């Protein structure tokens, strides 16, 4: 018997907004079981639990690392590690302070420069990010993550040739670097070279199949070349991996809309609007397929 997972759209003024990406990884069967139904303004109860669990884990790591730093205040690796946890938690100022401290203790610490560059990039200080990536690669010319980081900065600055050279270098140095393939795929995608992009996203998925982003990116290239069935399949996987990703659900809605499955498309658009009730592609798609507030639609 086919499992039926439903989505209902009910507009409320307090629907939560999702400002960043939070990957929640779960086995396929468990994800389907937890999906239940979705109502705009009433996100699945599992969201809060996942967030609290991640927060508790981060706090435990921070406590442990704080104890290490208290005992070893001149250990640059401890500051670098704590800065990484701060960065993953979105506490950018504290992350920068720790990376600054690590670098002051060891001015030749390539990883700390690359990590600080990531925070600068997240906060749109691209010139500072580029300087730190350059420094990391001056210290260690074979440091693959430094090339990936610098390539991302080049791509965001519109320097496609330089970005491509850095991603290629990272892949040469570390052929199992999923981030390098994923980011090179994004570069190809931005240049409408979708088959090259699909090849790179496929490699990234093969190397790290529990990250939703390469699945989403590959689906977008499939949509661009009209392979809607493959796009829908990828987005099925993506929403299992990251069920609170509005872009994944909305893109899935588009794939099923193009396949003529309007009820399933409406369900996906409704799920996206549960996460972010102001997300334009989901609002437009839900209206386009004739979605009605309060009506229940299948998603799987």
> In CATH, what number is assigned to the domain containing residue 62?
1.25.40.10
Three-state DSSP class for 39? strand
For residues 232 and 273, membership in a common domain is answered with yes
pLDDT attached to residue 130: 98
Q: What is the pLDDT of residues 99-153, one digit of tens each?
A: 999 999 999 999 999 999 999 999 999 999 999 999 999 999 999 999 999 999 9
pLDDT attached to residue 56: 53
For residues 12 and 65, membership in a common domain is answered with no
For residues 217 and 299, membership in a common domain is answered with yes
Reported as a pLDDT band with limits 50, 70 and 90, residue 291 is very high
Reported as a pLDDT band with limits 50, 70 and 90, residue 47 is very low
For residues 287 and 225, membership in a common domain is answered with yes
Is 84 within a domain?
yes
Point out the domain boundary residue: 72, 88, 107. Answer: 107
Task: Give the residue carrying structure tokens 């609170």.
Answer: 244
Is-contact 155 190, C-beta < 8 A? yes
Is 67 within a domain?
yes
For residues 92 and 37, membership in a common domain is answered with no
For residues 92 and 12, membership in a common domain is answered with no
Reported as a pLDDT band with limits 50, 70 and 90, residue 59 is confident
For residues 3 and 73, membership in a common domain is answered with no
pLDDT attached to residue 87: 93
pLDDT attached to residue 17: 27
State the average pLDDT over residues 284-289: 97
pLDDT attached to residue 217: 98
Identify the CA nearest to 113 among candidates 152, 89, 68, 83: 83
The residue segments making up the domain with residue 91 are 47-107
pLDDT attached to residue 7: 64
| Residue % of the chain over a pLDDT of 70 | 81
For residues 278 and 295, membership in a common domain is answered with yes
pLDDT attached to residue 6: 55
* pLDDT of 252 strictly over 90: yes
Sign of the dihedral defined by the CA atoms of residues 93, 94, 95, 96, in that order: positive
Higher pLDDT, 28 or 205: 205
For residues 231 and 246, membership in a common domain is answered with yes
* pLDDT of 169 strictly over 60: yes
pLDDT attached to residue 57: 59
For residues 225 and 280, membership in a common domain is answered with yes
pLDDT attached to residue 158: 96
Reported as a pLDDT band with limits 50, 70 and 90, residue 164 is very high
Distance CA(41)–CA(184), nearest Å, equals: 37
State the average pLDDT over residues 31-55: 35
Reported as a pLDDT band with limits 50, 70 and 90, residue 11 is very low
| Residue % of the chain over a pLDDT of 90 | 75
Is-contact 290 284, C-beta < 8 A? no
For residues 289 and 231, membership in a common domain is answered with yes
Is-contact 267 7, C-beta < 8 A? yes
Is 132 within a domain?
no
**Helices marked H in 36-125 — which ranges?**
46-71, 76-88, 92-105, 110-122
State the average pLDDT over residues 209-225: 97
Is 280 within a domain?
yes
Give CA 2 to chain center in angstroms: 30
Total count of domains within the chain: 2
| pTM as predicted | 0.79
- Strands ordered across the beta sheet of 296-298: 37-39, 6-8, 296-298
pLDDT attached to residue 248: 98
Of 14-18, 182-186, 287-291, least confident by mean pLDDT is 14-18
pLDDT attached to residue 23: 26
Mean pLDDT across the chain: 84
For residues 299 and 245, membership in a common domain is answered with yes
């Amino acid at each position: 018997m086919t499992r039926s997972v439903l989505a209902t759209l009910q507009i409320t003024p307090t629907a939560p907004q999702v400002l960043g990406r939070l990957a929640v990884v779960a086995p396929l069967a468990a994800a389907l079981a937890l999906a239940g139904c979705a109502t705009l303004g009433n996100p699945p109860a599992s969201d809060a639990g996942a967030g609290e669990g991640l927060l508790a884990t981060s706090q435990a790591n921070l406590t442990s690392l704080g104890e290490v730093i208290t005992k070893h205040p001149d250990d640059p690796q401890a500051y670098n590690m704590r800065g990484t946890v701060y960065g993953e938690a979105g506490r950018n100022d504290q992350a920068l302070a720790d990376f600054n401290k690590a670098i002051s203790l060891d001015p030749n610490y390539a990883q700390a420069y690359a990590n600080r560059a990531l925070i600068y990039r997240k906060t749109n200080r691209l010139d500072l990010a580029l300087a730190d990536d350059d420094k990391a690669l001056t210290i260690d010319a074979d440091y693959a993550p430094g090339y990936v980081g610098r390539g991302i900065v080049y791509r965001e600055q519109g320097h496609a040739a330089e970005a491509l050279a850095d991603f290629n270098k990272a892949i040469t140095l570390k052929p199992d670097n999923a981030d390098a393939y994923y980011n090179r795929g994004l570069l190809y995608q931005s240049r409408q070279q979708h088959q090259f992009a699909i090849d790179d996203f496929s490699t990234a998925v093969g190397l790290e199949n529990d990250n939703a982003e390469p699945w989403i990116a590959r689906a977008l290239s499939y949509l661009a070349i009209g392979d809607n069935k493959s796009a829908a399949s990828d987005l099925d996987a993506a929403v299992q991996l990251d069920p609170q990703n509005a872009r994944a659900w909305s893109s899935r809605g588009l794939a099923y809309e193009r396949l003529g499955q309007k009820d399933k498309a409406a369900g996906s658009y409704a799920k996206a609007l549960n996460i972010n009730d102001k997300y334009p592609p989901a609002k437009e798609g839900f209206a386009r397929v004739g979605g009605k507030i309060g009506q229940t639609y299948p998603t799987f």
